[in-house]
Amino acid sequence: MHDITTQVLGTEAVPSKDGSSIRHVVNLVGGQAADGIQFPAEGYVTFDAGLGGKAQGFNNQAVDARVEIKLVPKASGSGHWTNYVLHDIAPVGMLPPLPMPAAGGTNATAIPTPAVAQPVAQTPVAVEPVVHPLLTGQAERDAQELRRSVMHATLEFSGRVFQGSGEAQTAEAVAVALAKSFTTFISTGSFDSPRVADVTPATPEEIAAQVPGVEVGAAGLPWNAEQAEPVAS
Q: In the beta sheet, which residues pair with residue 88?
A: 66
pLDDT for the residue numbered 201: 56
| CA–CA distance, 25 with 48 (Å, rounded to integer) | 11
Task: Parse the chain into domains and list their residue ranges.
Answer: 2-91, 142-162+174-191
Residue range 59-69: average pLDDT? 94
DSSP letter for 163, please.
Answer: T
pLDDT for the residue numbered 192: 61
Residue range 226-230: average pLDDT? 51
| CA–CA distance, 6 with 92 (Å, rounded to integer) | 9
Of all residues in the chain, the percent with pLDDT exceeding 70 is 49
Contact between 31 and 8 under an 8 Å Cβ cutoff? The reply is no
Q: Which residues contact 224 (CB under 8 A, 6 or more apart)?
A: 230, 231
Closest CA to 62 of 13, 12, 4: 4
Of all residues in the chain, the percent with pLDDT exceeding 90 is 34
Contact between 31 and 39 under an 8 Å Cβ cutoff? The reply is yes
- 82 compared with 184, residue with greater pLDDT: 82
CB atoms within 10 A of CB 230: 15
CA 210 to chain centre: 82
Q: Is residue 189 predicted with pLDDT exceeding 60?
A: no
Residue range 104-119: average pLDDT? 55
| CA–CA distance, 34 with 6 (Å, rounded to integer) | 13
Percent of the chain as helix, strand, coil, to the nearest 5:
25, 25, 50
Instruction: For 3-34, write each residue's pLDDT tens digit.
Output: 999 999 999 999 988 988 999 999 999 999 99
Residue 163, sorted as left (phi over 0), alpha (psi -120 to 50) or beta, turns out to be beta
Please state the φ and ψ torsions of residue 124, each to the nearest 5 degrees.
-60, 140
Look over the chain and give the mean of its residue pLDDT values, rounded to a whole number: 74
CB atoms within 10 A of CB 39: 20
pLDDT for the residue numbered 134: 54
pTM: 0.43
Q: Helix (H, G, I), strand (E, B), or coil: what is residue 5?
A: strand
Confidence of residue 115 (pLDDT cuts 50, 70, 90): low
Of 8-12, 71-75, 109-113, least confident by mean pLDDT is 109-113
Instruction: For 122-172, write each residue's pLDDT tens digit.
Output: 677 666 666 555 556 777 787 778 777 767 776 666 666 556 555 545 555
CB atoms within 10 A of CB 52: 21
| CA–CA distance, 67 with 183 (Å, rounded to integer) | 107
The listed CATH number (2.60.40, 2.40.128, 1.10.10, 2.40.50) that belongs to domain 2-91: 2.40.50
Of 75-84, 92-101, 188-197, 220-229, least confident by mean pLDDT is 220-229
